[in-house]
Structure 1
């Protein structure tokens, strides 16, 4: 799909020919991979997704991001399947798809009109941001998924996600495994497998951490860890704990350190969260788990696909940390 001049037309041509397609994962937490899937693994879910969005032939989908991003290509093909139009132009839109960071930047810009149905994906949506969008007259729908897994759970934000239609899930060693008709076939032969795994009974996982309570899925985040002073700290569960104590969004990254290898860097979107989380960390976290470098980044840097650019964010935290040390020296 990435090499196609018209990706949506190429998708439907592959569907008519019953040929699989290849799409790229975002590479947010590692190397981007080529993922193979049947077109039916998307098409057969379109009716269910359109019903949740009240998307019909009268609809017009605003898709500002590149179609090389799987979530945007999915939305464009979904609009086609529903008989709706789609465009990178917001004029006259009834629906749009954005990452949480993209939504945060769009609020107050005048691009999103009251009554718009906003489909948010690509990362977990904080309930405060959902509430802010609702206060501006927007209807917010949110799903958790992945290039390898497609749709997994749906809600209005990350704290009320429920398993999507025909999806089964289980938690093994704190990680999410799912089985559904929407799964991909996995990485293309000869490409990096990454965290992709598939069991003999059809469950697949990509290393995401989470908890399951009935059909309620709590997603803690993508696999990732740092090693600091010989101790391994998994980022997803720790980020989840810090987010629960914060008033805004929280991001953790590894920062190189000449003595202990790495330390944790923490970026927050609300200035008052720095002291709040410093104090909370002293009370509740062990030495290796406590962030050592802090930065307030109200608008985190984004990739072309609208997701958090973790490399650029780490550089911002390092720069802020170095400046803070100079000011206090």
Structure 2
């Protein structure tokens, strides 16, 4: 039997444009937009554990820009400081947003009215006494204490939660103040956030159009509290989720708290709480009273500085590696993060 000829009645969809491989990713994005092409964005895998390629329409960003610009009071006279690499989708998003409204953007802070920052970057600027700007903070949860501290120092702060696959999900002023973004529907199923919106990438969805990156969250009306990825620790045969423990401890801390699983020969892993704050004693006292069994951290550490990925997020894998390296050489100060020797078992 002679095979049927291929159907050529519909033109083939052009291949997505890998904008991050271009010399000017922002110009490449707008070229794809003019040509009606999708874009392919490669991620580093620093948060998910594995690099991946995300394909999306340019409209899934561009159609949200008016709402973003209005919230940020972004205009042609504005100048956006983006200190992080454009390989991070939140930074490319900010640069494309700036060009959309006719504003300039720069990797240098001089003369800038706005800044795209992670919480760690904002903290460093506030501690250094940098002049206040209008900060758009993303990439990690922004604790209310840092927001208040930044505002007291003259900053205006907006914060959003999103993911490379989902784009914008919720917007507010800190992690406790997030409301669903325009045209976003959300559900929490077995503790995990599912999202439906026009801003999704070409990502698998269920039969109702919902997608998930498996972040743990709580949802009341349009108010979203994102607890993070459901990383687990298996300790003495019990499996516990780390994200809810971190969120509970963060509520009682004045600075950033990170909860990680650290390998341990006898128990397999132990839950470890790491903070930069000087209120470790109060945090530990609260944990001993309110966290029971395997959910109670067995180790409590203070680090002068938490390690960051190249995009400004907390480097959890690097932090665990550094803890283990310090364990092997207990008399050598940590090279990656610093350590002030306050460490004990629960």
TM-score (structure 2 length as normaliser): 0.87
| Equivalent in 185, 188, 193 of residue 176 of structure 1 | 193
Measured at CA, do residues 23 and 223 of structure 1 come closer, stay the same or move farther in structure 2, by a change above 3 Å?
farther
1:229 CA drift (Å): 1.5
| Equivalent in 296, 307, 313 of residue 307 of structure 1 | 313
| Equivalent in 71, 75, 93 of residue 74 of structure 1 | 93
How far apart, in 2, do the equivalents of 1:209 and 1:326 lie? 29
Q: How does 1:110-129 map to 2 (within 5 A)?
A: 110=129, 112-114=130-132, 116-129=133-146
The answer to whether the aligner puts 1:35 opposite 2:42 as a matched pair is no
How far apart, in 2, do the equivalents of 1:202 and 1:245 lie? 37
| Equivalent in 56, 79, 93 of residue 60 of structure 1 | 79
- Give the corresponding residue for 1:132: 149
Q: How does 1:122-201 map to 2 (within 5 A)?
A: 122-186=139-203, 198-201=205-208
Assess if the C-alpha contact under 8 Å between 2:271 and 2:295 holds in 1: yes
Assess if the C-alpha contact under 8 Å between 1:29 and 1:223 holds in 2: no
The answer to whether the aligner puts 1:292 opposite 2:295 as a matched pair is no
1:291 CA drift (Å): 1.5
How far apart, in 2, do the equivalents of 1:25 and 1:233 lie? 28
Assess if the C-alpha contact under 8 Å between 2:301 and 2:342 holds in 1: no
1:71 CA drift (Å): 0.5
1:32 CA drift (Å): 2.1
The answer to whether the aligner puts 1:21 opposite 2:27 as a matched pair is no
- Give the corresponding residue for 1:85: 104
Measured at CA, do residues 174 and 327 of structure 1 come closer, stay the same or move farther in structure 2, by a change above 3 Å?
closer
- Give the gaps of 5 or more residues in structure 1: 187-196
- Give the gaps of 5 or more residues in structure 2: 1-18, 331-340
1:149 CA drift (Å): 0.5
SS in 2 for 1:152: strand
The answer to whether the aligner puts 1:8 opposite 2:29 as a matched pair is no
TM-score (structure 1 length as normaliser): 0.91
Q: Which has the higher contact order (CA 8 A, sep 6+)?
A: 1
How far apart, in 2, do the equivalents of 1:127 and 1:101 lie? 13
Runs of at least 4 residues off by over 4 Å:
319-322, 324-328
**Between Structure 1 and Structure 2, how many residues are aligned?**
315
| Equivalent in 212, 216, 222 of residue 215 of structure 1 | 222
How far apart, in 2, do the equivalents of 1:170 and 1:283 lie? 32
How far apart, in 1, do the equivalents of 2:320 and 2:310 lie? 17
Measured at CA, do residues 24 and 128 of structure 1 come closer, stay the same or move farther in structure 2, by a change above 3 Å?
same
Highest CA radius of gyration, 1 or 2?
A: 2
Q: Deviations over 1:27-74 (max 9, x none)?
A: 214212111111100000011100100001111000000000000000
- Give the corresponding residue for 1:194: none
- Give the corresponding residue for 2:245: 238
Higher helix share: 1
